[in-house]
Amino acid sequence: MKSGFAVLGLALTLALGGSVALSPRSLAQDPAATPAKRKVRSKVTPDYPALAKQMNITGKVKLEATVAADGHVVSTKVVGGSPLLVNAATDALKKWHYEAAPKETEEVVEFEFNQ
């Protein structure tokens, strides 16, 4: 039985050994590959939904926004959050305006709902 564990350990070491051979740069996040976030020119704060307030629901809503070159929000996609809070966050984000840029970008925005 001990020889079986030894073989398994050796196989695991060899399998993991290949990942160690990667350069540190390939494992780290390359800052040059991460685009700079666009600055927001105007924000709208979401209204706290009455039902969520009554039910004492708090938390964060994370959204991904597609922002046109001229700075207006073209579309949104829910990344996470309570379904009772998502609509309020989405409605507010659609009213945001970003600084102009050479091309369309994707921006991640997080709203926090607290009572």
Please tell me the predicted confidence (pLDDT) of residue 17: 44
Q: Which domain CATH number covers 92?
A: 3.30.2420.10
Please tell me the predicted confidence (pLDDT) of residue 67: 97
Expressed in percent and rounded to 5, the helix, strand and coil fractions of the chain are: 35, 30, 40
Domain membership of residue 21 (yes or no) is: no
- pTM of structure: 0.68
> 43 lies in which domain range?
39-115
Domain membership of residue 18 (yes or no) is: no
- Which letter does DSSP use for residue 1 in this model? -
Q: Which two tokens stand for residue 21?
A: 């051979």
Q: d(Cα 2, Cα 79) in Å, to the nearest integer?
A: 47
Please tell me the predicted confidence (pLDDT) of residue 10: 39
Residues of the chain with pLDDT under 70: 1-36
Domain membership of residue 11 (yes or no) is: no
pLDDT digit string (tens) for 26-47? 333 333 444 558 999 999 999 9
Give the helix ranges, DSSP H, for the chain: 2-20, 24-27, 50-54, 83-93
